[in-house]
Amino acid sequence: MTLKTTRRRFLVGTGIAAAAAAFPAFAQSKPKLRFSAVFSEQDIRAEMMKKFAEAIKDDFVFEGYYGGNLFKQGTELVALQRGNLEMGNIAPQDFSKQIPAWSILTSAYLFRDANHLKKFFDSELGAEMKKMVEDQLGVRILGPTYFGSRHIGLKPDKKIKTPADMAGIKLRMPPGEAWQFLGEALGANPTPMAYAEVYTGLQTGAIDGQDNPLPNVENMKFYEVMSQIVLSGHMVGFDLLSVSKKVWDSMSPEVQQRFQAAADAAIEFSTEKHLERERQLVEFFKSKGLQVYEPDREAFRKYAQEKYLASDLAKDWPKGLLEKINAL
């Protein structure tokens, strides 16, 4: 190697270093945020995340993965904890697997509607539950993402007012002990069945009904083989938009404020879109000849909560929290 070559390399190297020092913004790229969710890219919540990404683009490079393409349903939380993912839309059931006290947030008739859900997470009670997740799991919850309330859809035309009217009704529930218990808590005879088999099950009479948010009933065309929808609202469907605590702690207070504000605005947009869709679908199902009505929700709520409180599922619930949530 000649002295001239060595000198040239030194000058090039020092030139690059000088340029990096003069233009630090170019030398240090924006942090990358990988987000994973099971909902499709056509989902309202995907639109929510695109709005969020637009709002934080000056601080982060957002990479959204939908349809469970990056991580399968139920694995996102562990991926966040291991540092393989920066953001996720985590089901409360996944948090409850690691923090049993969180199982209260997966029970029937806990939240009355989307507004009650938001009110809880904005309250001191909600802050305590979020702090559990942050302290024990290393995950920061930004807010609840509402995606619709579950209602009872039936083939028989029997009028349903109270849980007593559900006696003997073969109600399809997703497989799993917690879901079967939910069916019992509605007064029904729960029947496990795969989601893809529900239409045929209703058609043949293998089941009398199913429980799903209204958009699912439309997408799967269950309304074609049902006579009525009982607006029981027995479970408010939600996940938690979350970010790794390590990523959150790396932000300055100003960036944290912008980040949370972006999440709040995106969640509000998504909630309103879901509520509007649900309102439209009530009229749509009526136009298809279905009876659509509300039962005595208070009777259903009382029956379900008594069943839960008397079960093993409630043994890990924080003392007095159910009553405090009811009072909000």
Domain span including residue 63: 29-316
- The percent of residues in the chain predicted with pLDDT above 90, rounded, is 74
Residue 5 placed within a domain: no
235: left (phi over 0), alpha (psi -120 to 50) or beta: beta
Task: Give residue 267's pLDDT.
Answer: 98
| Average pLDDT score over the chain | 90
Residue 104 placed within a domain: yes
Task: Give residue 28's pLDDT.
Answer: 59
Task: Give residue 215's pLDDT.
Answer: 83
pLDDT confidence bin for 24, thresholds 50/70/90: very low
Task: Give residue 211's pLDDT.
Answer: 94
Which residues are 49's β-sheet partners?
Answer: none
Residue 138 placed within a domain: yes
Residue 157 has pLDDT above 60, yes or no: yes
Residue 323 placed within a domain: no
Task: Give residue 86's pLDDT.
Answer: 97
Contact 326, 298 (CB under 8 A): no
Task: Give residue 25's pLDDT.
Answer: 42
How far out from the chain centre does Cα 10 lie?
Answer: 55
Residue 1 has pLDDT above 70, yes or no: no
Residue 175 has pLDDT above 80, yes or no: no
- CATH, residue 201: 3.40.190.170
Residue 22 placed within a domain: no
Entry pTM: 0.78
Contact 302, 295 (CB under 8 A): no
Tens-digit pLDDT profile for residues 66-109: 988 898 878 899 999 999 999 999 988 889 889 999 989 989 99
Structure tokens, 295:
């039962």
Residue 321 placed within a domain: no
Tens-digit pLDDT profile for residues 186-218: 999 999 988 889 999 999 999 999 998 898 888
CA angle (277 as vertex; 43, 285 as ends), nearest 5: 120
DSSP 29: P
What is the rounded CA–CA span in Å between residue 108 and residue 106?
A: 7
If one counts the domains in the chain, the total is: 1
Residue 51 has pLDDT above 70, yes or no: yes
- Judged by average pLDDT, the poorest of 3-7, 150-154, 273-277, 312-316 is 3-7
Torsion of CA 154, 326, 144, 146, to 10 degrees: 20
DSSP 132: H
Contact 155, 208 (CB under 8 A): yes
- In one letter, which amino acid is 105? L
Residue 15 placed within a domain: no
Residue 176 placed within a domain: yes
Q: Which helix (H) or strand (E) holds 65?
A: strand 61-65
pLDDT confidence bin for 32, thresholds 50/70/90: very high
First-to-last C-alpha distance (Å) of the chain:
78
Contact 95, 77 (CB under 8 A): yes
Task: Give residue 258's pLDDT.
Answer: 98
